[in-house]
């Protein structure tokens, strides 16, 4: 028997017309997240800190302002919150359109989440994401698309993140989230220890109308960085990884449960 709780099959089709989601895109393009974002951050952060004993490495790799694309691996519905709860700035997320139903669509739209119609060529999603980046926002996008069923980082990246990186010219920060594949084991009263590591930002020259090959090459490069970060966490775990870094870079120190590259 697998040590991972089962996960529902992905549903790609949404029978509702494109026009149904226009209001959510318009709100995301013209407004910032409001108090709903802060409430969601507090509640999910408390869960992450207590039950998941979540810790972060290298939060200083995230720029404090300006456009940035955050690219984590995707194992769990908690990945959005685990990635964002350590950051002072508000992160804008994409979510599958099927989630935009009452009453949750109110929460999503006021928290700055915007829909993506999976299985369709959804240009509106890219327009919204690029509009947020143009205003200097932070957009999260998963290289792998949907959640991994195996608990391992996927082998094939979806080219959408490559397109967004090239068309916007925004830096991309790869992020490894280790342990979140077992978050759904809560029904078995099993709570994993989760570690989030932020990698070095990567930039590509802004390119109008990049080819499919260019988009895929960039997406594959981002996923490769995520895979390396995640493999290092899997090998060394949280404490072991810190000790390994300390041997390589003597100035590394542990501060309040977080790791930083700055000396005391």
- The H-or-E segment that residue 222 falls in is helix 212-248
Q: Kindly give the interhelix angle for 22-30 and 123-134, rounded to the nearest 10 degrees.
A: 10
C-beta of residue 166 within 8 angstroms of C-beta of residue 207: yes
Q: Which stretches of the chain score pLDDT less than 50?
A: 1, 240-241, 244, 247-248, 250-264
pLDDT digits (tens, 9 = 90+) for 206-227: 999 999 999 999 999 999 999 9
pLDDT in tens, 221-249: 999 999 999 999 998 765 544 554 554 45
pLDDT tens readout for residues 125-145: 999 999 999 999 999 999 988
Residue 50 · residue 186 · CB < 8 Å: no
CA distance 21 to 116: 9
Do the beta carbons of residue 48 and residue 194 sit within 8 Å? yes
Instruction: Residue 43: count other Cβ atoms within 10 Å of its Cβ.
Output: 11
- Architecture of the domain whose range is 39-260: 3-Layer(aba) Sandwich (3.40)
CA atoms lying within 13 Å on the CB side of residue 50: 6
Angle between helices 123-134 and 160-168 (to 10 degrees): 40
Rounded CA-CA distance 163/241 in Å is: 33
Closest CA to 178 of 159, 198, 160: 198
């Amino acid at each position: 028997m697998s040590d991972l709780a089962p996960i529902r099959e992905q549903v790609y089709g949404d029978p509702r017309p494109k026009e149904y989601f226009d209001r959510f895109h318009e709100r995301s393009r013209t407004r910032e997240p409001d108090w709903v974002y802060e409430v969601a951050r507090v509640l999910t952060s408390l869960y992450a800190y207590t039950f998941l004993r979540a810790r972060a490495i290298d939060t200083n790799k995230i720029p404090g302002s300006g456009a940035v694309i955050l690219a984590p691996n995707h194992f769990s519905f908690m990945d959005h919150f685990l990635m964002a709860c350590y950051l002072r700035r508000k992160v804008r997320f994409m979510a599958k359109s099927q989630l935009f139903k009452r009453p949750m669509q109110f929460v999503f739209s006021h928290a700055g989440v915007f829909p993506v119609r999976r299985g369709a060529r959804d240009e509106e999603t890219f327009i919204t994401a690029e509009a947020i980046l143009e205003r200097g926002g932070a957009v999260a996008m998963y290289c792998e698309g949907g959640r991994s069923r195996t608990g391992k980082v996927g082998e094939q990246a979806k080219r959408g993140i490559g397109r967004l990186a090239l068309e916007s010219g925004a830096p991309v920060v790869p992020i490894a989230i280790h342990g979140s594949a077992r978050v759904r084991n809560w029904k078995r009263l099993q709570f994993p220890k989760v570690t989030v590591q932020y990698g070095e930002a990567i930039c590509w020259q802004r390119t109008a109308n990049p080819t499919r090959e260019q988009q895929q090459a960039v997406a594959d490069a981002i996923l490769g960085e995520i895979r390396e970060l995640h493999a290092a966490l899997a090998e060394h775990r949280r404490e072991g990884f810190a000790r390994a870094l300390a041997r390589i870079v003597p100035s590394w120190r542990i501060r309040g449960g977080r790791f930083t590259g700055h000396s005391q």
